[in-house]
Amino acid sequence: MCCLLIRFRESVIIKKRLKFICSFDISKTRPFLTTKIVQPRLHLHLKHIIFLTLFLLSAATAIAQELPETGTPIPAPAPQPTEKEAEKKPAKTVVDIEDLKKENDTVVNDSIKKPKAVLEYVVESTAKDYKRIDRRANTVTLYNEAKITYGDITIEAGTIIINNNTGNITAYGIVQDSLGYTQKPVFTQGTNVVKPDSIVFNKDSQKALTYNSSTTQGEFNVVADVTKKVNDSVFYMKNARFTTSKNPDNPEYYFLARKIKFVPGKKIVTGLVNMYIADVPTPLGLPFAYFPMTTERKSGVVIPSFGNNNTQGYFLQNGGYYFAVNDYMDLTVLGDYFTNGSYGARVESNYRVRYKYNGSLRFLFENQLQSERGFSDFSQTSRYNINWQHSQDSKSSPSSTFSASVNLGSSEFYRESFNQINQSATLVNNLSSSISYSKSFSGEPQVNLSASITQNQNTNTDVVNLTLPTLQGSVSRVYPFAPKEGVKKGVIQNINLQYNLRGENRITTNGDDFLTEKMFDNAVSGLQHSIPIATNFKAGYFSFSANANFQENWVFETFRQKFVEDEDGVFETVTDTISGFDAYRTYSYGASVGTTVYGSWKSKNPESKIQAIRHIIRPNLSYSANPSFEQYYDRILTEQGLDAPSEEEQFFSRFEGTLFGAPGRNFSSSVSLGIQNNIEAKVRDRDSTKTDLRKVQVLKSLSFNTSYNIAGDSLNWSPVTLRGVIPITKNIDLNFDANLDPYALDNNNNRIDTFNIDNGGSLFRLTRAGIRTSFKLSSEDFKKGDKDSDKEKSNERTQQNGGRDDDLFGQSIDYSREQKQEPLKQDVDVNKDRYKFDLPWSLNFAYTMTYNNAQRQNEINQQSLMVSGDLELSPRWSIGGNTGYDFANKGVSFTTLRFQRDLESFTMSFNWTPIGTSNSWFFFIGIKASALSDIKWDQRKQPDPTF
């Protein structure tokens, strides 16, 4: 009975387990098993079968251990710790989930890499009309304004077909009867844009094949029949045309290459290439070519220009190498060579450090040969010119500044140069240079120090004046009696003084001795200390001021004169130089009083054009005195100590010929009188809708100045000086000046101590007069409405060479900059302006006249008129020139004519100097783009040589 009960219970338990197992979900992809097994009777021999089934079915959810390979022994289980070791090992109180995962996973690191996804990026696609999917061909078609984006690649076209089997993306436009072929593909990857007729792109390999594609890279527009994109940085093209024209479909010129390797942003390497102009092939060709396309500065060769000069033979000019040293400076080395042996060199460098300083350095040298060796007219001359411009940013160091403007060299450099960079510099008469450094020390009072080197060279006389160097120091004004707070009042509180120091080493030499030891033979040096003291105060409507100045001059050489009798008994003056420190002190004082008088008039008629007039008068009366410093003078004596054999006494100061000269020997005391006037008016505006009055200047300035020498024994009154400025128009002023002498002349035309009115003449005698005016007129001045306020760019090259900033003496011809012209302001629509006649023009005028009658000459010794202008015959045609006439000498001044044509991709210019010693002409045509700036042609006629 017990055995039967046990077997019965076991059979019931087995049945329950079997029902649970049969209803278990074995796999998520398989349906649930819901079959129930009903066993009416349990046979004992089926017990083992049931247990075996339970074991196999429960293995589906158990974690099995992999069997080792055949022949591989099963590793023994790890030894279990003993009871003592288990007691020593601390029990874990916190279960780490990651540790459980690692314990359950027998393979921690999988050595097999996961396969890469089929698509690296998600393909995003849009279309305006429809998106059709063909499941059999596994393609997707996008129509009308279709666009897909794959990573950094974007394709836009009228029709785009995506083949998922091959990975190809085909794009082409839409054919429409009325509009033709529209919505051509546009392929964009990063900054590269390609516009072909059709394109095939593989999204897996990212290779592409385009037909009749066009792309823009830097200054180049490239159009090719077939383009193969190998990767992001290499393209191969067949039958490619590249040009810098703005219209690549119909360019003025292009280069045709049968095969091209194109690296965007870097270079174009071609096989056989030749140039086409207006679709006409030219003989200009190369077996291969290399065109750099980088936007950064790169070093490279500068192709020279060639030609023939009648006096020096064939030549190569302006050829050399450009060095892109770094981001802050560059260097250009150019050279000239003539077949007769003449040569020249030019080194230029530009540098700039942002927020600190910038400048340029230029050195020019020429060795010119005329005729042939052995002939009587053979000559060889060497000349040079150094030009350095440096300026410092005010933000870099507010307390110190350094600047340089250097222009020195041979006097005849610009006049006889065979490489006229600036033809207008031939008229420069002075070469000036200055290098200065200043430092300020803040505080009370402030201390200022400066050092400078100056040079002035007269190219006509070849006299060079140098200050090497000049040291200056000053202490700001100090008010010793001023209150600590509040406004200074009265004479005492306004007393102020300061200290000035000036040291100089002055050299006068000529061009031959310049930069040699001989230039220091006549050098003079010295120091000057000065302490000016001044005060000012007001009394009613008058302003008073008083001043005094103390000076002490230090010199290191003095001179001594004496009479020496020679062998023939003739006395002559001999000057000896005495080395050693010496000094003298001087002082002067003065005072002045001035006021301002206002006079006004107002119209009673409200409809009158002139509503009010105001006259401002500023009279000024001053007194100054310079005492006599006779103690620094000596009588000239002979070696025997006798008086000099002369009817009059002769005095000489040992300080004559020193840096600051000798102090005054005669006492002077003079009173000066000056009156300054200006007149303003308020007028009604021409526009009746404007009610506000407009202020105009009737007389900008009119001043009278004269003085009376109280200490003088005769001719006490000085001539009256008259100066004024009269506004002619808003932009035109007339400057004039004159000298009026109150004294008469004798029969020898010398001034006498008799007033001219007492000698039967007028109150004043006009001895000198001058008129000067300069103005500019342009077509913009006669247009209504807003005018172009852009200022005209000055001629930087001419200014560096010492010339004017305008073009009255001609414009510079810099061959390296002829191609770097600005683009047109706007494209011209011929139909839009068909009936509009507009020729922009500009004119510059400069007139000067000087009248002289100091000794009854009654003549105009200087009178000249200078004119320059530009005229735009069309938006691409312009002519200009400059000329002048000297009415006093009856001759035409420096004259140039210039013609310029903008050929879109090319520029063409012709400069001609028809008359004078500098008669020459220069013709130039070249591509404007800097990448092809070496493709140019120029021809010139040099000026006739001068000896």
Q: Could you state, in order of their start, the residue ranges of all structural domains in the chain?
A: 122-189, 207-294
Q: Are 808 and 846 in contact (CB under 8 A)?
A: yes
The whole-number pLDDT of residue 34 equals 36
Q: What is the CATH number of domain 122-189?
A: 2.60.450.10
Q: Which two tokens stand for residue 564?
A: 């020496």
| CA 698 to centroid of chain Cα atoms | 40
Q: What local confidence, expressed as pLDDT, does residue 803 receive?
A: 59
Query: Rounded to 5 degrees, what angle do the CA atoms 76, 79, 80 make?
Result: 135
Q: What is the pLDDT of residue 420?
A: 62
DSSP 522: T
Alpha-carbon gap, residue 608 to 613, rounded angstroms: 12
Q: Which of 800, 799, 795 is nearest to 363 (CA)?
A: 800
Q: Which residues contact 90 (CB under 8 A, 6 or more apart)?
A: none
- Series of mean pLDDT values for 10-residue runs along the chain (947 residues): 43 44 38 39 49 47 45 53 48 41 46 52 84 89 89 88 89 79 84 85 85 81 87 85 84 88 83 88 85 75 79 84 90 90 91 92 89 78 90 88 90 77 70 92 90 90 88 92 84 92 90 82 90 93 94 91 70 80 94 94 87 94 93 70 52 88 90 95 80 86 94 91 91 92 91 90 92 87 57 55 62 54 43 58 91 90 90 87 89 88 86 81 84 78 60
Tell me the C-alpha distance between 531 and 552, whole Å: 9
Q: Return d(Cα 909, Cα 898) in angstroms, integer.
A: 7
What secondary structure letter does DSSP report for 98? Answer: H
For 923, counting Cβ atoms within 10 Å of its Cβ (0-12 exposed, 13-18 middle, 19+ buried), the class is middle
Per the CB < 8 A criterion, the answer to whether 815 and 924 are in contact is yes
Cα–Cα distance measured from residue 664 to residue 70, given in angstroms and rounded to the nearest whole number: 127
Q: Is the pTM of this model over 0.75?
A: no
SS3 569: coil
| Per-residue pLDDT, 787 | 52
Q: For 526, which DSSP code?
A: E
DSSP per residue, 620-646? EEEEEEE---GGGEEE-BBTTSPBPS-
For 329, which DSSP code? Answer: B
What letters, b where the CB count within 10 A reaches 16 and e where it falls short, cover 778-804?
beeeeeeeeeeeeeeeebebbbbbbbb
CB 920 within 8 A of CB 941: yes
**Amino acid, single-letter form, for residue 630:** E
Closest CA relative to residue 772, chosen from 857, 700, 849, 844? 849
Kindly state the helix (H) or strand (E) to which residue 769 belongs, with its residue range: strand 765-778
Q: Is 799 helix (H, G, I), strand (E, B) or coil?
A: helix
Q: Which of 277, 268, 276, 273 is nearest to 285 (CA)?
A: 273
Q: Are 636 and 541 a contacting pair, CB within 8 Å?
A: no
Check residue 943 and give its pLDDT.
Answer: 64
CB atoms within 10 A of CB 417: 22
What is the distance between the alpha carbons of residues 44 and 7, in angstroms, rounded to a whole number? 9
Round to whole Å and give the CA distance between 295 and 549. Answer: 62
Bridge partners of 877, per DSSP, are: 874, 901
Whole-angstrom distance, CA of residue 898 vs CA of residue 911: 4
**C-alpha–C-alpha distance, residues 123 and 131, integer Å:** 14
Tell me the C-alpha distance between 377 and 355, whole Å.
Answer: 55
pLDDT the model gives residue 595:
95
pLDDT attached to residue 50: 52
Q: Which residues contact 174 (CB under 8 A, 6 or more apart)?
A: 143, 144, 158, 159, 181, 182, 183
902's CB contacts (< 8 A; 6+ apart) are 821, 824, 875, 876, 877
Q: What is the DSSP string of 261-327?
A: EEETTTEEEESSEEEEETTEEEEEEESSEEEE--SS---EEEPPEEEEETTTEEEEEEEEEEE---S
* Structural tokens at position 322: 């450009």
Element (H, E) at 104: helix 97-104
List the structure tokens of 895: 């004259």
